[in-house]
């Protein structure tokens, strides 16, 4: 019985680590988040759903964050959305 429980535990632990590899969490520096909140822009309209990991369309103007050149931002529905400048993927959304 102990062997079965041990085997099940090992399988569950291994599957959890595999699932965790599907999404990468990027920690946006707090000063960058503070800047975005202190400097709101006009909201943009983005077709479809926007979520962490999705790319912002190329026709949307992303505003660079001065002290964090790897990041830029937009406002959607009056909420800040921070994206990477390299691939325009959403890495932070205000809740």
In a structure prediction context, what are the per-residue pLDDT tens digits for the chain, which is 95 residues long?
555 544 455 545 554 444 433 445 678 999 999 999 999 999 999 888 889 999 999 999 999 999 999 999 999 999 999 999 999 999 999 87
How far is it, in rounded angstroms, from Cα 14 to Cα 10?
Answer: 6
Domain annotation covers residue 8: no
State both tokens at 75.
């406002």
Q: Could you tell me the pTM of the whole model?
A: 0.72
Domain annotation covers residue 76: yes
Contact criterion met (CB below 8 Å) for 12 and 6: no
Helix or strand or coil: residue 46? coil
How far is it, in rounded angstroms, from Cα 71 to Cα 84?
Answer: 5
Could you tell me the residue range of the domain that residue 74 belongs to? 27-93
Look at the chain and report how many structural domains it folds into: 1
Domain annotation covers residue 22: no
Q: How many CA atoms lie within 13 A of 7 on its CB side?
A: 4
Domain annotation covers residue 6: no
What pLDDT was estimated at residue 49?
87
């Amino acid at each position: 019985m102990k062997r079965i429980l041990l085997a099940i535990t090992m399988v569950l632990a291994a599957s959890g680590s595999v699932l965790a590899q599907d999404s990468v969490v990027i920690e946006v520096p707090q000063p960058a988040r503070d800047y975005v909140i202190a400097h709101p822009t006009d909201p943009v309209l983005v077709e479809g759903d926007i979520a962490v990991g999705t790319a912002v369309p190329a026709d949307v103007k992303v505003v660079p964050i001065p002290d964090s050149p790897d990041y830029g931002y937009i406002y959607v529905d009056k909420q800040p959305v921070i994206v990477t400048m390299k691939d325009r993927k959403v890495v932070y959304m205000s809740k």
